[in-house]
Amino acid sequence: MSEVRFGPGGIPDWLEPMVRFCSRCGSRLNFGPIEGEERDRLACPSCGFIFYVNPRLVVTTLPITDRGEVMLIRRGIEPGYNMWAQPGGFLEIDETVREAAVRETLEETGLLVEPGEIVGLYSRVTAAVVVIAFEARIVSGERLVTRESLETRPFAPDEIPWQLIAFETSVRALHDWVARVRPDLPLPNPSTIRRDFGA
């Protein structure tokens, strides 16, 4: 696993270049104590704006076929090029979590799903994300190859290609799904399948 350092601002180093300047007045932000705040914050010395940096929500689904298989995508983009993951993406500002789950799954797989139960909610602090994974029934649509995917195909619970899964949060979500639908199957320890990138 890559070493992600948390620099000034209490944020991962990779995020720091994106939060250098005040989004209200353009001044350089300072990191330090702020009256009334319980931890050090990025704040603007000119206008007083406090820049709160919080994780973003990534909405994903485990699309399930009539035969109880999960549909995964072989990724056509970095991070995780050529590895497998469930469909998903960042929640947009004007949609609900379930709307995002339907939209992202349709965009990335061509499949219309109906999100059901939440399989799990996974924090990945070094990537500054929280990933939600819905179990989702496939309602209609045709599998398609998109700009972001090389292939979409179903896997039975005992066929999950654990060593070729792109993200740690995907390993954890698939682990929890398999444990739920096939508690008899042996499972990998998610912490032994660590990825160096992304979520």
Q: In this structure, are strands 56-64 and 129-141 parallel, antiparallel, or unpaired?
A: parallel
Query: Measured from the CB of residue 15, what is the shortest distance to Zn ion in angstroms?
Result: 19
| Residues 119, 127, 80, 104, CA torsion sign | positive
Query: Measured from the CB of residue 29, what is the shortest distance to Zn ion in angstroms?
Result: 8
Cβ proximity to Zn ion: between 34 and 57 the closer is 34
Cβ proximity to Zn ion: between 22 and 111 the closer is 22
Cβ proximity to Zn ion: between 31 and 49 the closer is 49
82 torsion bin: left (phi>0), alpha (psi -120 to 50), beta (else):
left
Binding site for Zn ion (CB under 5 A): 22, 24-25, 27, 44, 46-47, 49
Query: Measured from the CB of residue 48, what is the shortest distance to Zn ion in angstroms?
Result: 7
DSSP letter string, 38-90 = SS-EEE-TTT--EE---PEEEEEEEEE-TTS-EEEEEESSSSSTTSEE--EEE
Cβ proximity to Zn ion: between 1 and 25 the closer is 25
Query: Measured from the CB of residue 14, what is the shortest distance to Zn ion in angstroms?
Result: 23
| Alpha carbon 115 to its chain's center | 16
